Amino acid sequence: MVNSDFFKNLNKAQKEAVKHLDGPLLIVAGAGSGKTKVLTSRIANIIREKKAFPNQILAVTFTNKAASEMQSRVSNILGASAVGLSWLGTFHSICAKLLRKHASAINLNSNFTIIDTDDQIRLIKNICKAENVDVKQLAPKYILAIIDKWKNNGFYPYEVKINYKDIYEKMVLPIYKIYQQKLIDLNACDFGDLILHVVKVFEKNNEIRNLYAKNFKYILVDEYQDTNLIQSRWLNLLAEKNKNICCVGDDDQSIYSWRGAEIKNFLEFDKIYDNTKIIRLEQNYRSTQNILSVASNLISNNQNRLGKTLKTTMEDGELIKLNCFKNGKDEATGLSDEIEKIKKEYSYNKIAILVRAIFQTREFEERFLKIGIPYRILGGIKFYERAEVKDCVAYLRLIHQEKDDLAFERIVNNPKRSIGDSTIKTIHEYQKKYSLSLEACSKKMLQENLIKPKAKIGLLSFINLLTKWRNQSKIEKINHVKLLQIVLDESGYSSMLKNKKDLENENRLENIKELLSAMKEFDNLESFLEHVALATSIDQEWEGEKVNMMTMHASKGLEFDVIFLPGWEEGLFPNQKSIEEKGQKGLEEERRLAYVGITRAKKKAIISFSMNRFYQGDWIDSMASRFIDELPEKFLEKNSYFDENKDQGEDFEFNQDFDLEDNLRSPGWIRYQKRIK
């Protein structure tokens, strides 16, 4: 008989999920519904009921943190009885364990090396060099992304069916063949191999597959909505004997398709496993009812979902604020003003700002630095510390001040100009003799023919460009924003990023565009550089509690008392590129992202948008996100801060006829007015 204490903290649906042990089970767990508690209680119940020994339970998570938490919770419930949960871990850790036992089946030794991303890139670069592949045209990271996609879909090189209209896939496949053979030769695996190899071993060797399929009497999977195709295949093979597979997740929080996650695994679970039991966990223990109502209404517009209705025992709480601002700068000001109002009630650590794209943090960082609100970037780097931003600033610093050796050293070979470490070392040695700046030393060494021929061409070109840019800045008086645009084009920095096709470089380009917008707020180059220097020094002085900034993607699994959701504008959110590339699927994933963002809030949620954005040095008209139309009005408090002469704390209807000059009204604002009237 199970100890009655075991279930005392579980609600009705949770108890049902814990007690239903036999057969396939899909637990649709809404945000904040206690899914980890259910999973751990279920493991404990299996052991208590003597349905299986601990080593006959396979429990799979996506992170080591989640696995450790699960192990700890089961141990707290069962004590010594929990010893022996040897198959509780991440997909990769469990597959690595399996693969070491059966490495010979795929021509590896059991002591194979698992290589990291840096090693992968190094190997790809070597292959590209040997095969005369231009890495400027085809970036190693992009090559790896395509290879990873193929592995996530379960394809060895000889199984890949390429899209012949995609020139990149045609170029990558031969590299994939060589890369995979190299890994075998090196007795090594990458992370994608760990699952792929095990699946191939299971599919080709019935004896090995049956050994584990029989042993694992119960299989439990966390965050099932984030699984990819090869992970799903692996689970199917292991579950084929006993059929006791329990998957927990939330289809409304499937936001990682760009990482290979396949929501179809979740939505079609009952088609894969006959006689599936579906249990919905709809009791939320995190948010107020108003927050849940807004989130639920929004996500109900998605067609591809199983559906659930979140409810809470908590009070209704405050209405969700929907704020409209004239521009992004005003939005940052309004947001900081709100934080100042609530900081006595909520500590900085319990406040978060969630953006769609990381470049959006810049305006908020600038505002916080100005008024002294400490902040941190979770899952990312602060704006002025991002590599591409530091590179741009270094170029500008060196143009402004030719004795800036630190800036010189950072960008002299960025992008690549055949100026290697040995050349830099030689210049440093020369500097010790003559006590000149690195740039001055470089000029003298070029005159004295002390630089090797290949490096000489690159260094001379760089020096000549610096001279040209300084003339443009100081003699021709070219605007500092225009100057950076010229520098990026003529140095080859822009083309370096544009030619390397991957998501990371796209983000870098967006950050540079945002930097150009930031620069326009300053009268000249000197004042901008001074601002950057002061901004980074102020930031270093902050200790203790800080406001959290992050992307919505990075916020998944976290919770905060107060959530700010700025930038809800068409094109920005939902993201235009996502819709263009994936159509309706892309739009629904963007909506799920909005749902994730709102449900991070425990007590207060503030959504905002601007009528104008400063982008790449120009004002663009914006329009409120279509998601705003999908928010139920009765749960909203609408505020407009468009009229600068109005009291910022005063609330009034969006469709109020403002007494403003026509030229202050953007087309985006006018369109929005028409929509809400």
DSSP code per residue over 28-44? EE-TTS-HHHHHHHHHH
Query: Measuring CA to CA, which residue among 245, 246, 247, 238 is closest to residue 215?
Result: 238
Beta strands in 15-79 (DSSP E): 25-29, 57-61
Chain centroid to Cα 220, Å, comes to 26
Active site residue 253: yes
Phi, psi torsion values for 115, nearest 5 degrees = -90, 150
Q: What pLDDT shows up at residue 1?
A: 38
How far apart are alpha carbons 60 and 70 in whole angstroms?
10
Residue type, 667: P
Q: Is the peptide bond before 415 cis (omega within 30 degrees of 0)?
A: yes
Q: 584-598 and 289-299 are packed helices; what angle lies between their axes, rounded to 10 degrees?
A: 180
Q: Tell me: the pLDDT tens digits for 447-505?
A: 999 988 889 999 999 999 999 999 999 888 899 999 999 999 999 998 888 776 666 77
**227-266 as b/e: b if 16+ CB within 10 A:** bbbbbbbbbebbbeebebbbbbbbbbbbbbbeebbbbebb
Token pair, residue 121, equals 């890139």
Q: Catalytic: which of 190, 193, 223, 252?
A: 223
Q: 140-152 and 167-185 are packed helices; what angle lies between their axes, rounded to 10 degrees?
A: 80
Q: Catalytic: which of 15, 16, 36, 539?
A: 36
109 by DSSP, 3-state: which? coil
Active site residue 181: no
Is residue 251 within 8 Å of residue 305, measured between CB atoms? yes
Query: Measuring CA to CA, which residue among 93, 31, 477 is closest to residue 250?
Result: 31
C-beta contacts of 181-184 below 8 A and 24+ residues apart? 182/123, 182/127, 183/115, 183/123, 184/106, 184/107, 184/108
652 by DSSP, 3-state: which? coil
Q: What pLDDT shows up at residue 554?
A: 92
Active site residue 35: yes
Query: Measuring CA to CA, which residue among 475, 473, 503, 467 is closest to residue 485?
Result: 473
Strands 601-615 and 618-621, how do they pair?
Answer: antiparallel
Q: What share of the chain is helix, strand, coil (3-state, %, to 5)?
A: 55, 15, 30
Active site residue 536: no
Q: Catalytic: which of 14, 61, 73, 222?
A: 222
Q: What pLDDT shows up at residue 541?
A: 59
How far apart are alpha carbons 469 and 480 in whole angstroms?
11
Q: Catalytic: which of 253, 333, 485, 599?
A: 253
Active site residue 600: yes
How far apart are alpha carbons 551 and 131 in whole angstroms?
39
Active site residue 40: no
Query: Measuring CA to CA, which residue among 12, 10, 7 is closest to residue 34?
Result: 10
Is residue 178 within 8 Å of residue 127, measured between CB atoms? yes
How far apart are alpha carbons 8 and 2 in whole angstroms?
12
- Taking the whole predicted model, whether its pTM rises above 0.85 is answered as no
37 CB contacts (<8 Å, ≥6 apart)? 9, 10, 14, 73
Q: Is the peptide bond before 157 cis (omega within 30 degrees of 0)?
A: no
Q: What pLDDT shows up at residue 6?
A: 67
Instruction: Supply the DSSP string of 300-339, one letter for each residue.
Output: TT-SSS-----EESS---PPEEEEEEEEHHHHHHHHHHHH
Neighbours of 540 (CB within 10 A): 7
Neighbours of 664 (CB within 10 A): 14
Q: Catalytic: which of 600, 604, 613, 638?
A: 600
Q: What pLDDT shows up at residue 619?
A: 73
Return the bridge partners of 248, or none: 27
Containing H/E element for 188? strand 188-189
Q: What is the mean pLDDT of each run of 10 residues along the chain (677 residues)?
A: 64 94 94 90 91 94 86 80 81 94 93 90 93 85 92 94 82 95 94 95 95 96 94 95 94 88 92 94 93 95 90 91 93 95 94 94 91 89 90 93 91 90 91 89 91 90 94 90 93 83 77 89 88 71 84 93 96 91 93 96 96 73 92 93 51 36 40 42
How far apart are alpha carbons 411 and 462 in whole angstroms?
10
Token pair, residue 258, equals 């760009």
**Is residue 182 exposed (0-12), middle (13-18) or buried (19+ Cβ within 10 Å)?**
middle
